[in-house]
Amino acid sequence: MKSVIAVAAPDTFAADRLVDDYDVGRENIVELGSDQSELHSDTSGLLIYAPDDGTSAMDVSVLVSLALGAEIPILGSAVGMHRLNVALGGDVARKTPEHIADETRRRNRNSIFLAPGAKVSSTIGGSGWLTLPCNHKKGIRQSDLAPDVMAAAIGNDRVVEAFEIPGFHWVFGVQWDVFGATNLPRGFDNVLMAFVERAMGN
């Protein structure tokens, strides 16, 4: 059976980056439009991505439900994390003005705690407190998380930087832009690589 990554990222470069930087064949990618409500029968992974300055809106609730039913990995990044949370039954993201970089500095910095034993921290390869650059207009508080979802990384201001579904399912939501993870501490790029490897059956 062919492995197919469904990319729910209208008007972005996500599919091209998977091909160019992660050696995913173009024939192994299906780009989903904003009105898409079905997954290809060979879908083996669902990537929900939107940069924090993106403007396109996409309801991914049906896609997430189908992916969960098929027990395939799901990754939501940046605004895609917020959409994944809503699709799982959580609340919409709130404004986080303190996380927006101002004109005098390229990035704010935020202390976050990676939960020991969480799948996200195991994938990254570390846990505990660390400092991240941040620049996003909205974020999710712990009280906004969907049922059965746990915070895997949380800032000292209580903004959730990553969440996951405990147990069997490989479902991650991360606040950072997985295509810009090389600007983050070592190991953060492992999240997208792990997703691709699982989706492609490696």
pLDDT in tens, 99-126: 455 555 544 567 788 999 999 999 999 8
**Residues in CB range of 89: below 8 A, 6 or more apart:** 146, 147
For residue 78, give the DSSP letter. Answer: E
State the burial class of residue 43 (Cβ atoms within 10 Å of its Cβ: 0-12, 13-18, 19+): buried
Give residue 134's pLDDT. 67
pLDDT in tens, 187-197: 989 999 999 99
User: How far are the Cα atoms of 48, 93, 107, 125 from residue 142, in angstroms, in the given order?
Assistant: 21, 11, 23, 23
Residue with tokens 């792990």: 194
Can you tell me the distance from the alpha carbon of 166 to that of 149, in angstroms, rounded to the nearest whole number? Answer: 7
Give residue 146's pLDDT. 95
Give residue 1's pLDDT. 61
pLDDT in tens, 28-55: 999 998 888 889 889 999 999 988 765 5
Can you tell me the distance from the alpha carbon of 85 to that of 76, in angstroms, rounded to the nearest whole number? Answer: 9
Chain mean pLDDT for the chain: 86
pLDDT exceeds 60 at position 98: no
Q: pLDDT band for 63, please (50, 70, 90 cuts).
A: very high
Q: Identify whether the C-beta of residue 51 lies closer than 8 Å to the C-beta of residue 23.
A: no
pLDDT exceeds 90 at position 72: yes
Nearest partner of 39 among 74, 77, 11, judged by Cα: 74
Can you tell me the distance from the alpha carbon of 44 to that of 142, in angstroms, rounded to the nearest whole number? Answer: 29
Give residue 152's pLDDT. 95
pLDDT exceeds 90 at position 147: yes
Q: Identify whether the C-beta of residue 75 lies closer than 8 Å to the C-beta of residue 178.
A: yes
Q: Identify whether the C-beta of residue 172 lies closer than 8 Å to the C-beta of residue 164.
A: yes
Give residue 157's pLDDT. 78
Give residue 89's pLDDT. 95
Give residue 95's pLDDT. 63
Here the tokens at position 135 are 């620049």
- Provide the Cα torsion 159, 101, 127, 195; round to 10°: 90
Q: Would you call 100 helix, strand, or coil by DSSP? A: coil
pLDDT in tens, 160-184: 999 999 988 899 999 998 998 777 8
pLDDT exceeds 80 at position 94: no
pLDDT exceeds 60 at position 81: yes
